[in-house]
Chain A
Amino acid sequence: MRSRKVKEFVGFAILRLATAFILLALFIILYFITVRGSKVVNWQFLTQMPREGMTAGGILPAILGTFYLVTCSICFALPLGVAAAIYLTEYAKQGRLIRIIRIGINNLAGVPSVVFGLFGLAVFVKFFGFGISILSGGLTLGILILPTIIRASEEALLVVPQSFREASLALGATKWQTICKVVLPNAISGILTGSILGVGRAAGETAPILFTAVTFYTMRLPRSIFSEVQALPYHIYALMTEGTHPEAQVPIAYGTALVLLFLVLGIDLIAIIIRNRARREKW
């Protein structure tokens, strides 16, 4: 009798320990980057151009570059993804074909991001001739987050009860009026959550923009969507792997990592809060 109790106690203690270990790992990562990063991050760091071959100065071009890339990707992926999800759930006849398309989209969400980078290189940079630019990188990131946005939007649309649609149609509303005034307002928080998580992912990705958008050494801010840019994730990578002054570059990399972390986790947190609030208000 006692050994059973001991076993139970030890078992759950191990589970607790494992969970604590994960939290500890997260804490250590955040601790190092916050403590060392906050030594270099200040107003100048955020608003100045880099100087002396990336060994001094700020990271303004990288911040702006990431902003442009993410804006471009979301302008492309959000309308496309939400419209596709509306078609797939509301209009399309649910059958074999739609099921296959759905499985295809789901699986593309799991394809490594570097593969999307190659696609962007072959199609946007070379085939369409956009070159290494904000447009190429933004579109590549857009395609990367497209499956995520479609899936999240579909899920959000599918949980709206069928009875809502029937009630609206019974009142004489058309299909479009039903979607627009009944289905979408009820699904909006889910769509929003998925899209915001997509934005967070796009902001933090390095591999897809590696050969489609970024450059390390540039002294100018981008002038148009056909300019090369710096970007926060790539800036960290380049500071650590290129250049010849690690003692000056590592602190800047810490600062950049803190800024990126703050940005991405902030975006994710907004999404989580929206979702949790929506959950509480559900029918």
Chain B
Amino acid sequence: MRRAQKENLIRGFFCLFALLSIFFLSGIVIVLFKEGLPIFEVAPLGEFLFGKFWYPTYEPPDFGILPLLLGSLWVTLGALIIAVPLGVASAIYIAEAASPKIKEFIKPVIELLAGIPSVVYGFFGMVVVAPLVAKIFNLPVGLNAFTASMLLGIMAIPTITSISEDAISAVPESFKEASYALGANKWETTAKVILPAAAGGISTAIILGMARVIGETITVLMVAGGAAVIPHSFFEPVRTMTATIAAEMGETVAGSAHFHALFAIAIVLFVITLSFNIIADLLTQRFRRRLG
């Protein structure tokens, strides 16, 4: 009898911890909405999302996040142009062409690339990449969307490579054998059989890479230049949603409209990254089902 009681007690204890974890994590959503929603009394949702001016400290203030939204979109797009081809190509190489020895070396190295803190990327961007970009393109300063995209692209590569590699390795051996049996060589098999079969998993990888880039804060804060205006070219300074929160939160008064506006930006970010993650989840499930 006492043994059963003890068992129940332990079970209750673990249940409590699980509930506590869920409580803290759901707390994030609750706090975001509680602190963010009041801004829509000042600036209606449409005005907030599509307003072209972000002047939160003017009188009267403007809370239009379109420039920030476009800033985030701009650098994310730029980063993907760099990260997708390199990430997917290296994934194919690792999964299909590399010898076991090279594989054993490259995989941890790419994990290390993922482990470099974003502030280090930002620092490297400021002291090495930005001056180089300024020199090559004849600009007064190199802190702009282009530099930010390059760094974010490198940062997204590990995510894209490792998830794509898993997807490619998950393609059944029988697919390859069937292709070889039909007389295809290794390249044809890779390009026409393995890649299409792994496409679902690779799209998951790209979406998760996007989620990583759009949420990146300190790197863009350091290298993107920081102008909260709608960008017209890659060589202009931009400001992302994340950088705005990080740069302005320290100066706001808790409870002010500006404070609520920054939380509302966080809601937008949260919704974007959450939908990316959910899409990625759905794609993965479909991918698994298709491969049986």
Contacts and interface: CB of A to CB of B under 8 A. Distances in A.
Interface of A: 4-5, 7-8, 11-12, 14-16, 18-19, 21-23, 25-26, 28-29, 32-33, 79-81, 83-84, 86-88, 90-92, 101, 103-108, 110-119, 121-123, 126, 143, 146-147, 150, 174-176, 197, 200-201, 203-207, 210-211, 233-234, 236-237, 240-241, 250, 253-254, 257, 260-261, 264-265, 268-269, 272, 276
Contacts of A81: 21
A15 B97 contact: yes
A146 B137 CA distance: 44
Contacts of B182: none
Contacts of A272: 108, 111
A110 B85 contact: no
Contacts of B115: 197, 200-201, 204, 264-265, 268
B28 A126 contact: no
Given A26-B113, A146-B25, A18 B128 contact: no
A93 to B, nearest CB: 12
A92 B161 CA distance: 34
19 contacts: A7-B187, A8-B187, A25-B154, A33-B124, A80-B17, A80-B24, A91-B11, A107-B281, A110-B277, A111-B270, A112-B270, A114-B242, A115-B32, A175-B10, A175-B11, A233-B119, A240-B126, A253-B123, A268-B112
B207 to A, nearest CB: 10
Shortest Cβ-Cβ A-B pairs, 3 listed: A112-B215, A204-B117, A83-B17
Interface string B230-270: 00000000000010011001100010000000110010011
Query: How many interface residues does chain B have, given as a range?
Result: 35 or more
Contact of B110 (A15, A22, A197, A254): A22
B214 interface: yes
A7 B124 CA distance: 38
B246 A104 contact: no
Contacts of B81: none
A22 B90 contact: yes
Interface string B93-121: 11001100000001011111101111111
A33 to B, nearest CB: 7
B45 interface: no
A112 B33 CA distance: 16
B93 A83 contact: no
B273 A206 contact: no
B217 A84 contact: no
B18 interface: yes
B138 interface: no
Contacts of A28: 128
B35 interface: yes
B120 A115 contact: no
A279 to B, nearest CB: 11
Nearest to B26: A104
Interface in B14-30: 14-15, 17-18, 20-22, 24-28
A14 B89 contact: yes
B187 A118 contact: no
Contact of B112 (A104, A112, A116, A269): A269
Contact of B24 (A22, A79, A146, A203): A146
- Interface SS majority for chain B: helix
Contacts of B7: 174-176
A115 B270 CA distance: 8
Interface string B157-180: 100010000000000000000000
B157 A22 contact: yes
B86 A18 contact: yes
Nearest to B34: A122
Given A15-B90, A175-B7, A261-B116, A112 B22 contact: no
Given A112-B215, A112-B242, A118-B263, A204 B119 contact: yes
Contacts of A105: 21-22, 25
B92 interface: yes
A234 B35 CA distance: 26
Contacts of A118: 31-32, 35, 245, 249, 262-263, 266
Contact of A22 (B6, B161, B216): B161
Given A91-B15, A257-B123, 15 more contacts: A11-B187, A11-B191, A16-B97, A19-B89, A19-B94, A22-B154, A79-B17, A80-B17, A80-B21, A84-B20, A84-B21, A112-B270, A118-B266, A123-B31, A201-B115
Contact of B188 (A4, A88, A210, A250): A4
B152 to A, nearest CB: 13
Given A33-B120, A83-B17, A261-B120, A110 B273 contact: yes
Nearest to A29: B124
A207 B25 contact: no
Contacts of A207: 217-218, 242, 246
